[in-house]
Chains A and B, each alone.
Chain A
Amino acid sequence: MVQVLESARASRHPYPVKIPRAMSDLLQKVAQSRDVEAFRKLFELYGPRVKSYMMRQGADATTAEDLAQETLLTVWRKAQLYSDEKGSATTWIFTIARNLRIDRLRREVSWQPLPEDRDEEASDGPSPEEEVTERERRDKVRAVLATLPPDQSEVVTLSYVEGLSHSEIAERLGLPLGTVKSRMRLAYQKVKEAVEDIR
């Protein structure tokens, strides 16, 4: 254990790194050396967010906490797959949480696509330049989301955070289905333009 901790410390970057980068490092340690201490840190960082997400999706506190535990356990089990992924640690953990939510809260398991399992041949991990772009991209997405008009921001949040379908959003807001969809398209176009600017 002590040895594990020391090797973890030794491989730490000598300069202060941004949080997302550190997350990926923790996940790599879990993947490559089954580092229990790194896993505990991941749990501290992501557990409360996954719990919060599950509660927004309609789970009670106990269920949400069970699902947070289960999400992180899946992270532990599947960590090797992460090293072959180009997405950030957050994307990956969010996808696992999302799929688990679909599985448990909706019980509509079999048909849901699992996009994170595809294209995983694209291996080798991100190059340093790609990591910068990745970070830049995330900052851009956050910035764009912050400036969306309230009507667009509302449908995006209802879809991603509350887990409502197009029809459910239309019903909740008393809007025609076409309006819900066009607001989603507009919001996505803005995000897409900002992200493609970086390339």
Chain B
Amino acid sequence: MKITHHLDDATLMSCAAGSQPEALAAVVSSHLAVCPRCRAELKQHALIGEALFEGLRPEPVTRDAPVVAFRAGEATADETEACEMPAALHAALNGRFDEVPWRRAAPGVWHYPIPLSSGAKGDLRLLKVAPGTKLPEHGHGGSELTLILDGSYSDEYGTFRRGDVADLGDDAEHRPIADPVHGCICLAASDEKPRFTGMIARLLQPLAGL
């Protein structure tokens, strides 16, 4: 997989800090799973967290260290295995796109919302666009990320293929066209539900002929 569109530094910083809303973290972790370059970059971001952590004023602890003397043989076997998709996404999709219960949103466009933890803000959903479908020009709100899972699309910023992530600024406008043969399946996240729903509505309005 040759990846040409990567995560923004500000996005990686938030990831290294562990400060991302869940929906965005889903897209980021899915991209990291397939992108060695962003993983390497993330390690550099982690240096900042480490330096700040070391610089914190220590807060005296009142209890003793946990007793580990009886745990000498304890070891871990529960390590994450490398996989194309993060385990959670894999579980949500059952590993296959053709089994996703797609909901038709407009001609040539389907979507499937993925449930987040209770209380989590934001919106995470799969989008499927039929081959050759042209979406009308639209912008994206503040924090939105889109990862290509299958097929591709092209717009003013280039061609986004499997593994590429669109981490565009909030002022970016584009007019994407899905791959003429394979169409496009992507994972899209927003940190605010109303904004994302608004985006979908704007996006689909002309298509639905409303």
Contacts and interface: CB of A to CB of B under 8 A. Distances in A.
Verify that A and B bind, or say they do not.
yes
Interface of A: 34, 36, 39-40, 43-44, 47-49, 51-53, 55-56, 61, 64-65, 68-69, 72-73, 76-78, 80-81, 87-88, 90-91, 94-95, 97-99, 101-102, 106-115, 117-119, 137-138, 141-142, 145, 156-157, 159-161, 163-167, 170, 177-178, 180-182, 184-185, 187-189, 191-192, 195
Of all A-B residue pairs in the complex, the 9 with the closest CB atoms, nearest first, are A48-B58, A113-B29, A43-B65, A181-B10, A52-B59, A108-B22, A111-B26, A184-B10, A110-B88
B39 A163 contact: no
Contact of B169 (A80, A178, A189): A178
B170 A108 contact: no
Given A52-B59, A72-B66, 8 more contacts: A94-B46, A113-B25, A142-B51, A142-B55, A160-B52, A161-B56, A185-B10, A192-B44
Contacts of A137: 47
Contacts of B22: 106, 108, 110-112
Given A77-B74, A110-B117, A184-B9, A138 B171 contact: no
B13 interface: yes
B143 interface: yes
A77 B76 contact: yes
Contacts of A189: 9
